[in-house]
Every structure is written in C-alpha cells, then in structure tokens.
Structure 1
Amino acid sequence: MDERGSGDRSSSRRRGPSKGDLREQAILRTARTLLADKPLERITVDDLVSGAGISRPSFYFYFASKQAVFESLLDPVGDGIMEVAEAWLTSPGGSRKDLRASLALLATLWARHGPLLKVVLRDDATGTLLECRDRMIGRLVGNATTRIERDRASGLAPDGPPAATLAELMVQLLTRALTEAIGPSGTDPVPDALLDALSSVVGRSIYGRTPAEAAEG
C-alpha cells in the first residue's frame, strides 16, 4: 500500500519542460535577441547555435533552416495581432472608442515584436517569411472586408468602393504606418497622435463620418 501511495505521489508531480523543449526555446530566444541587433540576412545558423549553447546537429533536429526559426516566432505573433484586430472587427456597431482602443493594443504588439515584424513586412521578404506575411495580411483583409460588408448591409456604413479593395488599402496603411512609427530599432512606442489620426482615417473611410457619429445616426 505504501509503495502504491508513493507511486501515486510521484506520478502526480508536476513535470518540467524536457531538454528538447528547453533547447528549442533557447534557439527561439537567441533568434529574438539577435534580430534586435542585426538584420536577418546577417544572422547565421552558427550565431543561433552559439547563442543557444547547442551543436549544429541539435539545431537541425529542431529546425530545418534559419528561416524556419523565424517562421516559428512569427506564427504566435500573427495570432496575437489577429486576436487584437478581431476584437474590433467582430464587435457590433461602429464605436470610435472601440476602434481607438484596438489600435492602441495593436500598436503595443507592434512595438513589442517590432524587429520581427519589420523583417516579415519588408518588400523583399521571400520564402516562408513571405508566406507568413501573406497569411497574416490575408486574415486581416478578410476580416476587415467582412466587417465593411456587414456594416453596409445594416445601413451603418454607406456604399463605396468594393469592400475588399477598401479593406486592403486600410490594412496597408495601418501596417506601414505602425512599422514606420516603431523606428529603425523596431521598439519605439507609437505616438498617440498617430493612433488618433489612424482611427479617424479608418473610421471615415468606412463610415464617411467617425464611427461614433455613424453609431449615433
């Protein structure tokens, strides 16, 4: 009975991350650190191996290439951006306050992950980075298109250019403006004045008036 009790206690203990988990996280952590100091094209597998304290064979056990490392970093960032954006894109009505709040959260994420986002949003992005960018932008444009079409159908927003075209222009404006605002280092805070301007431009582009004015009828 004592042995069974001891076994039960042992099996119920909280297990920590495995060595494999720790090594993979060390590679990702090193990639984030390096990206803040040098451009992607100057980062090598040797840099990642050295920073993570592992061997090259160990690196290739977890990642097929340097690009694959940054793809792994980007996916959760893209999910975070979508979560923030969807808070407004799926909300009822056209509150300017809600729009401004969502843009503020988006700007915080942009500054937090700036070095990585500057890489993926570059015009010369290729391979998996380009695929990640297209996937993230495509999701934003798709949800914005749905929001515009919904508000037009309900009479909250006036008719205008094709919803998909307007959504694509809005997303391009936001991503470029936020990327420029975080500066060369990718970590500068986004000025409140810029967020005010962006919320006004986006609101008026969809509703013809500010979202608050449109909501009031």
Structure 2
Amino acid sequence: MRFDLSILVPHLGFLAKGAVLTVEACALALLGSLITGALVAIARTSALAWLRRAAAIYVDLFRNIPFIVQLFFFYYGLPELGLYLNAFITGVISLSIAGGAFASDVIRSGILAIEPGIIEAAEVSGLARPTILRRIVLPIALRTSIRPLGSVLINLVLTSSILSTITLNELTGSAKIVAADTFRPFEVYAALLIAYASLTYLISLAIGRLHLRLNRDMAEARL
C-alpha cells in the first residue's frame, strides 16, 4: 500500500470545519467546566456539611461514570422526558459537567493552598464573604492552578472526539466521513493523529507560557 496524504486535499475544507467545531465545543466546555468547577470547589470548602456532601457526590458521580454513558444519557435519554437538545449543545453541556468534576478538584486544591492570613486580613478589612471569594480567593486559586487546569483542557479536547458518536461532525466525525468516502482510512486517521497531537502540544506550550508569565507577575507584585 502506498501512503499518500494527497488524497486528503479535496477534503481539507470539510476537515477544517470539523476542526473549528471541535475548537468551539472545547472553548465553550472549558468555560462551562471552570464555572461549574469553581462553584463545586466553593461548595466543597463550605462550612455547611450538607453542601460539602452534595458537591462530593457530584464529583464522585461524574468522575466515575464513563463519559460516553453520560453523553448517551443526555442525548438519547433526556428526549424521553421531553427535553430535546441538538448534538452540539448536548456535547458542550456533557463536556462541561464532566470537566467541571475534574476542574473542581484542581480549584479546590488551589483554594486550600491559600494562606489563611490572606483571607483573615480580608475579613478584618470588612469585606463580605462573597466579595472575598470573587475578588481574592478564586483569582488566586485559578492563577496557582493554571498547569493542572491546562491538563483539564487537554482532556476536554481528547474527550471531544467521542462527540462523533452522537452524529456531531467535529474533527473525528469529519474524519470518519472522509475515510468512508475515500476508502483510505490509514491516511485519514494518520492525519487525525497528527492533528490531535499538534493541538494538544500547542495547548501545552500556551499553558506553560501563561504559567511562567503569571508566576513572574506574582513575584514582581510581592517585590
């Protein structure tokens, strides 16, 4: 068999649309994961026992159920209850909920790592608890958790390939169609391997640079 990537040239536009869809879904899912993760992390560090318990159940539930099962539940199960969502919205919501469970652990660790004196000083100055969380606790926790949150983003990108199972033609879904049309799955999936490896590598580089910049800014602020 002759390896020939030129057979992909006529399909580059179609594959590019799939790649854009993947980026859009992952960007929205990252935002949803951060919001969900932050709320759950706050709940897990709350003084209210029932709130901590509820947040812990959420994390344990969505971290221990295969993502494809969660996805199928939302896409095929919810319509039985009269709730119909298109594949893109279902994918984003599913990724956000699953990603939020992992992000919450990262953000919670960042919150617990904050020096108690910082929070005590804010309380002494008269700031309300919600203000302390919004303006002090969460910004510090997010800044110190950039690298592990980057891992959450990379995991979202890799997991997004499963969205092709609910007829969403993101990058993997588009590749499956091209492979079926060209009868050249080896070249198509070789290109897909390269695409995902390149995307995750670029994300890793960007996260590394952001981490260094934030650490430098924090060090300068202390001086």
Instruction: For CA contacts below 8 A with separation 6 or more, give which structure has more relative contact order.
Output: 2
**Higher radius of gyration, 1 or 2:** 1
Relative to the length of structure 2, the TM-score reads 0.31
Relative to the length of structure 1, the TM-score reads 0.31
Report the structure, 1 or 2, having the larger helix content. Answer: 2
